[in-house]
Each structure stands twice: as structure tokens, then as C-alpha cells.
Amino acid sequence: KDLVKQNDAEDHLVNGPWWLDPLYTPTLRQVDEHNNLKDTYLCNSVWWKEMDSTKYGYMKTFLETARHPSQFNSRQKKSLESQSKFFVVYNQLLYKRDRRKSKKPQLLRVIKQEELTPLLYLMHDHPLDFPLSAPLEEKEIDRVNVLVNDLPVNRAIAKENINESQQRQKFRWDKKLKKVVRTFNMGDKVLLFDAAQLGRHTGKLSPKWLGPYIVHARVAQDVYKLRTLENQILEAPRNAFILKRYYERI
């Protein structure tokens, strides 16, 4: 206990309070059989809710800690058991919350400290990666080599993702279009859709089709030149998607 307090005190003097340092990983210093100091990096991350009673009610402070349950006092252990959503590790025993039956945690089985890492990996779907597990020093040339070697692979993955995204976008866009085949011959009478009506909120009873017009020439596939009944040729060609055949009344 004295070693733990000394370790926390030294860290507080050097790096400031541990709750202000997001990269802080508490350690538990122990003396092995050969009288050597051994640092154990605690990996059972839990949420601990501390409530301070004031005259204005309760001040709620959420702290993300990785402390070993043996370092908690009785009030903190009780709060830990009530606030943990998934499990509680207390005195090397694994408890699981079961709110449907009772508020008391349910004992599952005895668990060891080295079994916590794969257990948390299965529960949270990502490995536990502490800052101390990463290499502290890395040469610049090694980092450049890693980036250069991974560049072709990352580029191929990016191209594949772009292609898949474009295909999904094309599928969504084609799904909105009406698959109507409209072909016209020269001299056919057609009606032209007034695209300006799409952005208006008034004129619900006004006609949405202009014309009739006469097909003057075919410029490209599904693109036609139109002329009025007075033989005045429209300057801009029109797409067949906004044209429909005009039927004269008998």
C-alpha cells in the first residue's frame, strides 16, 4: 500500500493529477520473491460515479479509471457494483449485472487478472491498447519505410472503396429515374415539359407541358431539335426524357 501511495504521489508531482491526464494508466507496484520491484499495469477499465452532496443538490462527476478494485474503499466498491453496466471485478471474482431479476450482481466464476484482457476484448469488440504498450522510440527512416511499403496497398483499398461508393450512388440514382423509352421521328408533334414548374410552390392548376412542337432533327441519341408550329426553330436541343408524344383531337 505504501508503494502504491508513493507511486501515485510521484506521478502527481511530475504529471499533475491523474484524472486530468487522458494517457494515465495506473500501476500497482509489487515486490516479487527476488526482492525486485514489478509494475503491474491494470487493465480492468470501469466507470465510477462519484456524487458529492452540496446544498444545491448533487454534483455528478464521471471519472474513467483503471484502478484495481482492491484500491477502492467500501463506498466506492458499493457505487461500482451499482453503476457498472456489464460486469464488476471484485477480489478476483467476476460479477455480472442482472437487472431483470435483482439488483444484486450475479457471481459468474472465479477470474484471474491475466484473463481480463481477452474478456474485455470479447465484450467491447476491440483490443486493449494502452499508451505504455506502444513503442516509445521509432526511427524516422523506419517510419518512412513503413509508409512507403503500405502506400500501394492503401491506394488499392481506396480505389476499391471509391468504386463501391460510386456503384451504390449510381444504383440509387438509377432507381429514381423512370425507365421510359421515347423515340421520335422527324415531323412528330411532341409536348415539352416546363422544368421551371419544379421549383415553384404556386400555380398548381397551370399547365406543366408546353407546345405542341414539331421534331425538327435528331442531334444525338435521345436528343432532338424542336420547332414551333410557325416553323421557328428552338435554339437549345431537348432531351427525350422531358418530351412526350402529342395526340391531336379528332
pLDDT band at 197 (very low <50, low <70, confident <90, very high): confident
On whether both 126 and 7 belong to a single domain, the answer is yes
How confident is the model over 219-228, as pLDDT tens digits? 988 899 999 9
How confident is the model over 38-84, as pLDDT tens digits? 444 433 333 333 333 333 333 333 233 344 445 556 666 565 455 44
Domain end call among 105, 133, 161:
133
**Cα–Cα distance, 80 to 83 (Å, whole number):** 5
**Cα–Cα distance, 114 to 41 (Å, whole number):** 11
On whether both 129 and 6 belong to a single domain, the answer is yes
Q: CATH number, domain at 195?
A: 2.30.30
Task: For residue 115, give its domain range.
Answer: 2-133
On whether both 127 and 198 belong to a single domain, the answer is no
**Cα–Cα distance, 98 to 200 (Å, whole number):** 58
**3-state secondary structure string across the chain:** CHHHHHHHHHHHHHHCCHHHCCCCCCEEEEECCCCCEEEEECCCCEEEEEEEEECCEEEEEEEEECCCHHHCCHHHHHHHHHHCCCEEEECCEEEECCCCCCCCCEEEEECCHHHHHHHHHHHHCCCCCCHHHCCCCCCHHHHHHHHHHHHHHHHHHHHHHHHHHHHHHHHHHHHHCCCCCCCCCCCCEEEEECHHHCCCCCCCCCCCEEEEEEEEEEEECCEEEEECCCCCECCCCEEHHHEEECCCCC
**Cα–Cα distance, 67 to 46 (Å, whole number):** 8
* Average pLDDT estimate for 91-116: 52
On whether both 22 and 125 belong to a single domain, the answer is yes
- Residue 173 in domain: no
pLDDT value of residue 187? 92
- Residue 207 in domain: yes
User: Looking at the whole model, is its pTM more than 0.85?
Assistant: no
Q: Is the pLDDT of residue 2 over 50?
A: no
Count of domains observed in the chain: 2
Task: Measure Cα distances from 81 to 69, 99, 144 in Å.
Answer: 10, 12, 48
On whether both 16 and 110 belong to a single domain, the answer is yes
**Cα–Cα distance, 48 to 77 (Å, whole number):** 9
- Residue 70 in domain: yes
On whether both 128 and 7 belong to a single domain, the answer is yes
- Residue 35 in domain: yes
Q: Is the pLDDT of residue 240 over 80?
A: yes
Domain end call among 100, 133, 166:
133
pLDDT value of residue 234? 93
**Cα–Cα distance, 125 to 244 (Å, whole number):** 57
